[in-house]
Amino acid sequence: MGSDKGVVRVLLFSASLRADSFNTRLIGLARSVIERLGARIDLATMREFDAPSYNQDVEAKDGFPAGTSELHRRLEACDAFVIATPEYNASMPGHLKNAIDWVSRARPQPFNARHGLLLSASPSMAGGNRGLWSLRIPLEHLGARVFPDMFSLAQAHKAFTDSGGLADQLLAERFEQNLRAFLDLVEAAKHYPCIKKAWVEFLGEPGDTVGRVEAA
């Protein structure tokens, strides 16, 4: 890493698999803002983290699918992550939860103490915001530091300019402020890692009544 050791590293991905995805457009915009603000970017696609439906027997027999190992590696290599996700039926898409379930079994558990920012885009008036509240639950359970301010782009089919920016100037400013505030926090925590938190997993499995503890 050399001279850029102190630079904040951010993994970004859209959780949509759709070719003309609004969430992929939004993550592209986040990428350009974050890059301009001086962080180092790793832009991924959901396809790279693809995995079959989680099955504990398969995990025990074959270990992790390639997509899970890839998500684990990419999370471990960054200080923070940004996810832009569609809302499906007032929740997150099943493939995103499945990817989280798989990677939560890897060690070190990669969400623990990692900073996360959640974005969504939808043609609806609420912008997919309910999906983000559902996404917070597993991430916070896993010890991620999920930024309080989330950004949900309503009426996404009308929201972008031809060059990929946000047509509404006020909204564009809010988006940039949100990203800037998140990066400031990540940078502060990287240089002054004063908040230590142990992550405790209670599996509730036979023979594991105490659970496992992983330090931050």
Pairing of strands 80-85, 40-45: unpaired
- Report yes or no: 86 and 56 within 8 Å, Cβ to Cβ: no
54: contact with ligand FMN by CB under 6 A: no
Reduced to 3 states, what is the DSSP secondary structure of residue 153?
A: strand
**Should residue 21 be labelled a site residue for ligand FMN when binding is judged by CB under 6 A?**
yes
Q: Specify the residue, 79 or 87, whose C-beta has the smaller distance to ligand FMN.
A: 87
- Does 65 engage in binding with ligand FMN (CB under 6 A)? no
Return the residue of 68, 104, 109, 122 that touches ligand FMN, per CB under 6 A. Answer: 122
Tokens standing for residue 61? 């027999």
Asked if 32 contacts 62 with a C-beta cutoff of 8 angstroms, the reply is: no
Q: How far apart are CA 16 and CA 135, in angstroms?
A: 14
* Stretch of 28-36, 121-129, 140-148, 199-207 lying at the interface with ligand FMN (CB under 6 A): 121-129
Q: Are 51 and 67 in contact (CB under 8 A)?
A: yes
> Do the strands 199-201 and 212-214 form a parallel or antiparallel pair, or are they unpaired?
antiparallel
Among 30-38, 118-126, 140-148, 181-189, the segment contacting ligand FMN (CB under 6 A): 118-126
As measured in angstroms, the least distance from the Cβ of 44 to ligand FMN is 15
104 near ligand FMN, judged by CB under 6 A: no
- Residue 87 as a binder of ligand FMN (CB under 6 A): the answer is yes
β-sheet bridge partners, residue 151: 119
**Candidate residues 11, 13, 22, 178; the one interacting with ligand FMN per rule CB under 6 A:** 22
Element at 136 (helix H, strand E): helix 129-141
Longest CA–CA span in the chain (Å) reads 58
| Least gap, CB of 12 to ligand FMN (angstroms) | 14
Q: Is 47 one of the binding residues for ligand FMN (CB under 6 A)?
A: no
For the bound state, the minimum distance from the C-beta of residue 161 to ligand FMN, rounded and expressed in Å, comes to 17
Query: For ligand FMN, which stretch binds (CB under 6 A), given 19-27, 59-67, 136-144, 190-198?
Result: 19-27
H/E stretch holding 75 reads helix 66-76
Would you tell me which residues interact with ligand FMN (CB under 6 A)? 16, 18, 21-23, 86-90, 121-124, 128
